[in-house]
Amino acid sequence: MPTSAQEHREVSRKITYQSELDPGFGEHIAKMAYGEKLFSCIQCGTCSGTCPVSHYMDFTPRRIIAMVREGFRTDVLNSLTIWLCASCYSCTVECPREIKITDVMYALKQEAIATGVYPKRFPVPVLAREFFSGVERNGRNSEGPLMVKFFLKTNPLSMLKNASMAFRLWTKGRLSLFEEKMRTPGVVSTLLRAAKQAGGNGK
Amino acid sequence: MTNTPTNGKSGNWEPHIVAFFCNWCTYTAADLAGVSRMKHAPNVRIIRVMCSGRVDPQFVLEAFAKGADGVLIGGCHFGDCHYSEGNYKAARRIRMLKRMLHDMGIEEDRFRLEWISASEGDKVKLVVNDMVDKVKALGPLGLPGRFNEWDKEMEHLEAKAGVKEVAHAG
Amino acid sequence: MLDPSASNGTPRIGFYICHCGTNIAGTVDVKAVAEYIGTLNGVVVSREYKYMCSDPGQELIQQDIKEQKLDRIVVASCSPLLHEHTFRTATEKAGLNPFFFQMVNIRENVSWVHTDPVAATEKAKDLARAAVRRVFLHKPLAPKKVPINPAVLVVGGGIAGIHAALTLANAGKHVYLVEREPTIGGHMAMFDKTFPTLDCAACILTPKMSAVKSHPNITLWTYSEVSALEGFVGNYKVQVKRKPRYIKEDLCVGCMECVTACIFKDARFPDEFNVGLSKRKPVYIPFPQATPQVVLFDPETCLQLKKGKCKQTCIEACDRECIDFTQTEEFKDIEVGTIILATGFKPFDPSKTPYYGYGTYPNVYTALEVERLVNASGPTGGEVVLRDGSHPKAVGIIHCVGSRDEKTNRWCSRVCCMYSLKLAHLLKEHTGAEVYNFYIDMRTPGKGYEEFYDKLLKEGVHFIRGRVAEVTDWAMDAKEEGKLIVRVEDTLIGTVRRVPLDMVVLSQGLEPRADAQDVRRLFNISCATEGFFLERHPKLAPVNTFTDGVFIAGACQGPRDIPDTVAQAGAAAAEALALIDAGHIELEPNTAFILEEDCSGCKSCVPLCPYKAISFLEDKKKAYINEALCKGCGTCVAACPSGSIVQNLFEDDQIFSEIDGLLSELAVSGGGRL
Amino acid sequence: MTYRYFPGCSLKSSGRSYEESLLAVFRALEVPVQELDDWNCCGATAYMSVDEVEAFALAARNLALAEQGGNGQAPQLMAPCSACYLVLLKTQKYLAQHSDLDQKVRAGLTAVNLRYDGRVQVRHPLDILVNDIGLDRIKKRVKAPLAGMKVACYYGCQIVRPFATFDTAYNPTTMDKLVAALGATPVAWPLKTRCCGGTLTGTIPEVGLRLNRILLGEAKRRGADTLITVCPLCQFNLECYQDAIQRELNANVSLPIVYLTQLMGQAFGLSDTELGLQRLFVPAARPAVQEGGKAAHA
């Protein structure tokens, strides 16, 4: 395929040694994603074909499944693919082997965040973490403050680009810069702590 | 049974289940489970009969009396009987037998009738595993042991009565 | 422990346990079982051997019978359904009655389904002990012999049924060939060319069709169905329902004057043979080579039949006077000894895969429709014209439609890769279009098949490895406007592609016919989980069923191509011939009989027998079982309140001792009473 | 029957007009709705990425709240946001299927004096409108039929996938039928359930904007006067980024994007402010000829 990378040619190593692989990775992810169906994948590519964003991914969902099975831990967790998944569940519905691919993607995201192996400064994990801490604090998500923090942490310049939209939202009464709170936000932290102590994701 | 202790005291007690499978459907299904290597619990011993209609209630009672913890009967689905209607006859007979076993204090889960067609190897596996789990939960039935106790009681009573008789005679 | 009176003197039992290579010995400690059984009362010989079913294994038994004077044999190996006959014969060859034998299933029932060697070995011991206890009580029996009716019923007139019928008829047997449709020929008659040789389907099929029609040994009933069946191997009674054609079949010569004269001047009803791509009249012949060459009236569309009002121009036109609107269903009763089922398959219905747009986009076709479209005698005379009248410049063939999918059919339909290649070739040849094959895996195992694939590759057909996700009509740019767009990952290149096409062909898989369950009930056979008829053994008895005398051939047993279908049809015919030419059939002597002295005359057994084998002797006030009618189910035995019915091979005492044998160790250790 | 109502975070901010119009329509149909007291975030998409058990626990608390009280009948919990709807359904399903997960979530709920027994029925307003209230009742309430208006019904992904309960995943028709009942003409188009990209518009605009351009472009190509949605995120993406799409991708995609309930409110003759129409960036479409005040039922 012709790409824009033509002027920038580098020789890179394209061999994988067995010693670089994590043989238990597939089983581990399959377990996190509620099932062993991962291993019945026939590499037909339906997931990639139906995915609305697969053409932006560095590895198509089909390749991710193959790599997970074979223990390509580092490549998978560093891939952009898992962060591009918008959770539209198209692949899960279409897969002829009934593999819950969306759940596999969630498992990979969790694994990447838990082990700190993910593309730095990439916006999606940052958004996920900011969302997470906001809800942990207030019990609810506050769209305005979340947006501000998100842009500050990823690309402060793009905030200017989005400022006019934010202003319009604000004038239409669709955006508040105050934090949305439950009446009793403490309840949520108690709930989460207790669920976690019972063994939240083994982390 | 040298390796599978049968008294309830030991933690690794394993139930013994006797199964009567009809030749045409369920026995064939068990064969299919074998050919397909569908692993399941080893507690069931199969006796092959030509038709579930051949299963005499006395067979079931005999199995319980001789120490079985459960009895499983397998036949063809309704409409599929190799002999047209043997399974209907079996079903009717077994309904009566169930009531009788209930009266005898034998729990419902220890006696089961299943329709399993020749192609349902997976169902053999499911039914066997499920039944073993349920019987395990109930624990040993131990009818032979109970018979023993009853016998002793009877002997005791008879002995008592005997003494009386002797006394009378004297 | 034993009842010595049950056998003649003290029995001398030989016990043999088979390793079956590692199939059994890998899980069951065969040595321990053999040692243990050797300690049981009455067991004289107890051996283990690698393959008991081999010649040396059988000789081992025979030698022991002679040298050790054994009078009972127990073999612990595989399922009795597989090798009981083998060992009975071996026993008989050594001079012992074959029924002094009992088999223990420790492969299918033990080693193949259990993983714990300790538990498996214990179970094998229990089962073997039970058999030893049972065989004590066995009695000498003679197999029942019944004569066989040499006539054969073949159900289904596709290539499988045609081939089976001709083979049997050529061997001098009378064949009744029953076909549901108005003509024989089946799906093969609809195909254009056949892979991989590309010879025309009609050219090789139609001579066989006319041979069926003219064969003196074949009674051909088309537009007919088997409506009832009773009896057993050797002697089946069959009822065939013949649907009315409203034509005297023996008079009609197929001149089609009535078709021309029909009040409907234009054909306006969907033509079944062309899968709806053309129209026919209410009176028609399905296709020019239809066999028999006889017209029929469709009661759904014929005015006279539907409304009772028509000028009946057809009757005026028929100078042979063969039209008869008063015809009704007719039932024929026949007797045959064996049956071959060749009822074929149903193509997968693509409306179950809505993402491929069949029914939504007119230029999405099924493979069967395309077979007619490229056929010179098809609705367009072999010119590939789309439903919108245009000629395609780019065609996509989607493989595995409905196949290999948990939500539709899980199996690989086996023929679609090859027929897709064939259609790719034909479409390219007919239209010069760019042809794309979208496949998951390319499966071409067959003589000359891989070579055919190679030929297609060289012809410049595109092969994209990937299962198509969707066929849509939304365009991303001007070049896509008005096209069907296939969205697919090209898995070999690793990129998602959008391919604009004018025509999409869905390679529909093969599935069981909609009424397969009714048919299997009627003929008392089984279906596998996916719904195809179940063979007796997947390798060693592929055309046999669990019902003796009923054989299966062709795609009713599973998806298969023409060469395999014909081979199977020949095999089924040979199996039937083997039975017929033996002259009689040996049946298990497992019939029941009455112990007259014990019978109380309560009559409870009489209505239980589905074969009316039990009657009541008014003079003696006793029940009586006609052994010739008894099929050996044993239902009456279990029901007899006085215990006066005995089933050979399954006597009460034999089963009781089997139960006791299974549990005896248990009872001893449990301190029970015995 | 009173429907319990779980608004979710978006309906309190960017999706305010969804809440306003939803409640207005239900009021007009005289169907009582009661907001869950002190609900919390459903544990949606972003949360799932970080800790799944916690996400399930969050959802379960809302389900437990919905289950409280009630009179023996299965409590009906209305969740208008597609993401909330999916997460609540998924939580129910996974708790029932995976006992280890159920155990952890149960422990969390116990700590806040709650329990959940799986009795709640999670419902999307579209499902309630068509299957409970019914098209007949809706038709009777129509005061200003939307004759001549061509509407592209956009279902988005998460109400029919993967737990399609009231419509099919491939070609859903519930909303189309409802739109027809309002007197408008639903547009046949193949992208009814194609994803709008969710949060990708914000996180990776080069991807997110393109997804929305495809949807808007195709709806316009098929002649739609307006596109309607039932999800606050879809509405936000499809409406608020139209300028950005125009700027970055040089494509004219201007199209009114309203909530289904806003369209219904228009047909019911409700006022613009009742329906929050003033909050739109692109003014709502109006039927070409207003048959002012003429009742639809005749």
Q: What is the pLDDT of residues C109-128, one digit of tens each?
A: 999 999 999 999 999 999 99
How many Å lie between the alpha carbon of B35 and the closest alpha carbon of chain C?
A: 6
Average pLDDT for C416-437: 97
Note whether C466 contacts A45, CB cutoff 8 Å: yes
D56 and D167 share one domain: no
Residues 6+ apart with CB under 8 A from D206: A56, D248
**Contact between residue D153 and residue D119 where contact means Cβ atoms under 8 Å apart:** no
- State the alpha helices, DSSP H only, in C402-515: 416-431, 449-459
CB pairs under 8 A between B and C: 185
Where does residue D141 rank: exposed (0-12), middle (13-18), buried (19+ CB within 10 A)? Answer: buried
Q: Evaluate whether residue D166 is within a structural domain.
A: yes
How many Å lie between the alpha carbon of A21 and the closest alpha carbon of chain C?
A: 21
pLDDT tens, residue by residue, B92-132: 999 999 999 998 889 999 999 999 998 899 999 999 999 99
Q: How far is CA D91 from the centre of its chain?
A: 18
Sheet holding C495-501, edge to edge: C470-472, C484-490, C495-501
Query: Based on C-alpha coordinates, what's the Rg of chain C?
Result: 31
D116 and D146 share one domain: no
% of chain C residues with pLDDT over 90: 91
How many Å lie between the alpha carbon of C351 and the closest alpha carbon of chain D?
A: 12
Query: What's the pLDDT score for residue A7?
Result: 64
Is the pLDDT assigned to residue D5 strictly greater than 60?
yes
Is the pLDDT assigned to residue C204 strictly greater than 60?
yes
Residue with more model confidence, B7 or D212:
D212
B chain contacts of residue C104, beta-carbon cutoff 8 Å = none
B chain contacts of residue C232, beta-carbon cutoff 8 Å = none
- Split at pLDDT 50, 70, 90, the class of C9 is low
Note whether C489 contacts A49, CB cutoff 8 Å: yes
The two tokens of residue C591 are: 């019939």
pLDDT tens, residue by residue, C442-487: 999 999 999 999 999 999 999 999 999 999 999 988 899 999 999 9
Residue with more model confidence, D109 or B165:
D109
CA distances from C43 to B1, C13, C46, C106 (A): 19, 5, 7, 19
Is the pLDDT assigned to residue C653 strictly greater than 80?
yes
C chain contacts of residue D218, beta-carbon cutoff 8 Å = 474
Note whether C659 contacts B66, CB cutoff 8 Å: yes
Chain A residue with minimal CA distance to C488?
A49
∠ CA(C646), CA(C649), CA(C650), 5° rounding?
A: 60
* Average per-residue pLDDT for chain C: 94
User: By the CB < 8 Å criterion, does C548 face chain B?
Assistant: no
- Split at pLDDT 50, 70, 90, the class of C586 is confident
pLDDT tens, residue by residue, D240-274: 999 999 999 999 999 999 999 999 999 999 999 99
Asked whether the bond before C270 is cis by omega within 30 degrees of 0, the reply is no
Note whether A187 contacts D38, CB cutoff 8 Å: yes
Note whether C672 contacts B143, CB cutoff 8 Å: yes
Question: Element (H or E) spanning C117, and its range?
Answer: helix C117-135
User: By the CB < 8 Å criterion, does A177 face chain D?
Assistant: no
CATH no. for residue D112? 1.20.1050.140
Note whether D52 contacts A110, CB cutoff 8 Å: yes
Average pLDDT for A34-56: 93
D153 and D261 share one domain: yes
A chain contacts of residue D15, beta-carbon cutoff 8 Å = 174
Distance CA D194, CA C527 (A): 40
Give, as one character, the DSSP assignment of residue C39: T
Query: What's the pLDDT score for residue C3?
Result: 44
Note whether B48 contacts C637, CB cutoff 8 Å: no
Note whether A60 contacts C406, CB cutoff 8 Å: no
Note whether C474 contacts D191, CB cutoff 8 Å: yes
C chain contacts of residue B49, beta-carbon cutoff 8 Å = 634, 650, 655
User: By the CB < 8 Å criterion, does A109 face chain D?
Assistant: yes
Identify the domain containing residue D221 by its residue range. Answer: 142-279
Residue in A32, A83, A169 nearest the CB of D14: A169
D chain contacts of residue A175, beta-carbon cutoff 8 Å = 13-14
How many Å lie between the alpha carbon of B161 and the closest alpha carbon of chain C?
A: 23
**Contact between residue C180 and residue C224 where contact means Cβ atoms under 8 Å apart:** yes
Note whether D107 contacts A175, CB cutoff 8 Å: no
Query: What's the pLDDT score for residue C674?
Result: 29
The CATH superfamily assigned to C348-511 is FAD/NAD(P)-binding domain (3.50.50.60)
CA-based nearest residue to D261, from D133, D147, D122: D133
CA-based nearest residue to B125, from B51, B72, B63, B64: B72
Pick the CATH number of C4-141 from 2.60.40, 3.40.50, 2.40.50, 3.30.420: 3.40.50
User: By the CB < 8 Å criterion, does A63 face chain C?
Assistant: yes
pLDDT tens, residue by residue, C498-546: 999 999 999 999 999 999 999 999 998 989 989 999 999 889 899 999 8
Query: What's the pLDDT score for residue C567?
Result: 98
∠ CA(C275), CA(C281), CA(C286), 5° rounding?
A: 50
Distance CA C190, CA C278 (A): 14
Pick the CATH number of A18-115 from 3.30.950.10, 1.20.1250.20, 1.10.1060.10, 1.20.1630.10: 1.10.1060.10
- Split at pLDDT 50, 70, 90, the class of A6 is low
C chain contacts of residue D169, beta-carbon cutoff 8 Å = none
Is the pLDDT assigned to residue A203 strictly greater than 80?
no
The ranges assigned to domains in chain C are: 4-141, 152-242+334-345+512-584, 257-328, 348-511, 588-647
| ipTM greater than cut 0.85 | no
Residue D58: strand, helix, or coil: helix
Is the pLDDT assigned to residue D297 strictly greater than 60?
no
D chain contacts of residue A200, beta-carbon cutoff 8 Å = 51, 53-54, 104
**Contact between residue A116 and residue A158 where contact means Cβ atoms under 8 Å apart:** no
Note whether B144 contacts C127, CB cutoff 8 Å: no
**Residue C229, strand partner residues:** C238
Is the pLDDT assigned to residue C407 strictly greater than 70?
yes
3-state secondary structure D61-99: HHHHHHHCCCCCCCCEEECCCHHHHHHHHHHHHHHHHCH
Query: What's the pLDDT score for residue C141?
Result: 95
The ranges assigned to domains in chain A are: 18-115, 123-195
Backbone angles phi, psi at B9, to 5 degrees: -65, -40
Start-to-end C-alpha separation, chain A = 42
Please count the structural domains in chain D: 2
Distance CA B110, CA B72 (A): 8
pLDDT tens, residue by residue, C154-189: 999 999 999 999 999 999 999 999 999 999 999 999
**Contact between residue B52 and residue B75 where contact means Cβ atoms under 8 Å apart:** yes
Distance CA D298, CA D293 (A): 13
Backbone angles phi, psi at D116, to 5 degrees: -130, 125
CA-based nearest residue to C574, from C301, C250, C173, C261: C173
Q: pTM of the full predicted structure?
A: 0.86
Residues of D near C (Cβ–Cβ under 8 Å) read 168, 170-171, 189-191, 214, 218, 221
How many Å lie between the alpha carbon of C463 and the closest alpha carbon of chain A?
A: 14
Distance CA C426, CA C437 (A): 13
CA distances from C260 to C256, C277, C318 (A): 6, 21, 10
∠ CA(D204), CA(D209), CA(D213), 5° rounding?
A: 160
Give the Cβ contact number of residue C250 at 10 Å.
8
Note whether D190 contacts C354, CB cutoff 8 Å: no
Note whether D170 contacts C473, CB cutoff 8 Å: no
Give, as one character, the DSSP assignment of residue C534: P
Which of the residues D49, D54, D101 would you substitute to probe the A interface, choosing the one with the greatest number of A C-beta atoms within 10 Å? Answer: D49
Chain D residue with minimal CA distance to A50?
D194
User: By the CB < 8 Å criterion, does C534 face chain B?
Assistant: yes
Which of the residues D154, D161, D168, D170 would you substitute to probe the C interface, choosing the one with the greatest number of C C-beta atoms within 10 Å? Answer: D170
User: By the CB < 8 Å criterion, does A123 face chain C?
Assistant: no
**Contact between residue D7 and residue D80 where contact means Cβ atoms under 8 Å apart:** yes
Which of the residues C474, C476, C481 would you substitute to probe the D interface, choosing the one with the greatest number of D C-beta atoms within 10 Å? Answer: C474
Note whether B148 contacts C673, CB cutoff 8 Å: yes
CB pairs under 8 A between C and D: 14
D108 and D168 share one domain: no
Write the CATH number of the domain with boundaries C588-647. Answer: 3.30.70.20
Q: Evaluate whether residue D131 is within a structural domain.
A: no
A chain contacts of residue C488, beta-carbon cutoff 8 Å = 45, 49
Distance CA B64, CA C529 (A): 34
Query: What's the pLDDT score for residue A199?
Result: 60
Query: What's the pLDDT score for residue D293?
Result: 45
Residue in D9, D97, D197 nearest the CB of A141: D9
Note whether D170 contacts C472, CB cutoff 8 Å: no
∠ CA(A171), CA(A177), CA(A180), 5° rounding?
A: 115
Q: Evaluate whether residue D297 is within a structural domain.
A: no
User: By the CB < 8 Å criterion, does C632 face chain A?
Assistant: no
Domains C4-141 and C588-647 share a fold: no
Is the pLDDT assigned to residue D19 strictly greater than 50?
yes
Start-to-end C-alpha separation, chain B = 49
**Neighbour subunits, D (≥3 Cβ pairs < 8 A):** A, C
Average pLDDT for D37-59: 84
Note whether C474 contacts D190, CB cutoff 8 Å: yes
Phi-psi region of C8 (alpha: psi -120 to 50; beta: other; left: phi over 0): beta
- Choice among A52-66, A153-167, C13-27, C47-61 with the minimum mean pLDDT: A153-167
CATH no. for residue D156? 3.40.50.11810
Note whether C476 contacts D214, CB cutoff 8 Å: yes
- Helix/strand/coil percent split, chain A, to 5: 60, 0, 40
Q: How far is CA C26 from the centre of its chain?
A: 34
**Residue C499, strand partner residues:** C486
Residues 545-584, chain C, touching A (beta carbon < 8 A):
none
Distance CA D258, CA D232 (A): 10
Average pLDDT for C4-20: 78
Chain C residue with minimal CA distance to B21?
C109
User: By the CB < 8 Å criterion, does C650 face chain B?
Assistant: yes
Pick the CATH number of C152-242+334-345+512-584 from 2.60.290.11, 3.30.1490.20, 2.160.20.10, 3.50.50.60: 3.50.50.60
Distance CA B20, CA B86 (A): 14
Distance CA C345, CA C562 (A): 13
pLDDT tens, residue by residue, C220-244: 999 999 999 988 899 999 999 999 9
Residue in C354, C475, C476 nearest the CB of D171: C354
Q: Evaluate whether residue D293 is within a structural domain.
A: no
Query: What's the pLDDT score for residue B11?
Result: 54
The two tokens of residue D216 are: 């808007």
